[in-house]
């Protein structure tokens, strides 16, 4: 998920032609936070994710979907959320399985 989020932020910045510093200003974040997210050193809170999406004037879920999926499917919000929920469930199932094996 970090890789997808990072790639989507970079792609949206490229589309808008803005720097990390400008995005940080638009989202009310520090440029260090934006840099850490793009470099996959940190994850984001719900509020930070929403602030980034609002700065880009896109829906929050669009930052979490692989770009090829968004482009190929041209989903409406409902369908995209359904697919995102399915992907999260798969991720949760794998995490639960791995966690169960180490405890």
Domain extent for 42: 2-102
State how many domains the chain has: 1
Taking residues 21-47, report their average pLDDT: 95
- Per residue in 41-52, pLDDT (tens digit) is 988 999 999 999
**What is the reported pTM?**
0.66
72 pLDDT more than 60: no
What integer pLDDT is reported at residue 71 of this predicted model? 56
Listed residue (100, 101, 75) closest to 87, CA to CA: 75
CATH of the domain at 76: 1.10.260.40
Burial code of 74-83, b = ≥16 C-beta within 10 A, e = fewer? Answer: ebeeeebeee
pLDDT beyond 70 at 81: yes
């Amino acid at each position: 998920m970090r890789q997808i989020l990072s790639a989507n932020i970079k792609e949206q910045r490229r589309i808008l032609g803005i720097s990390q510093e400008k995005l940080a200003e638009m989202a009310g974040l520090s440029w260090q936070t934006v840099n850490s997210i793009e470099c996959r050193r940190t994850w984001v809170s719900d509020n930070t994710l929403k602030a980034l999406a609002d700065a880009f004037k896109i829906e929050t879920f669009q930052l979490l979907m692989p770009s090829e999926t968004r482009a190929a499917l041209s989903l409406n919000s409902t369908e995209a959320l359904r697919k995102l929920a399915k992907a999260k469930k798969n991720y949760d199932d794998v995490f639960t399985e791995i966690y169960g094996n180490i405890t």
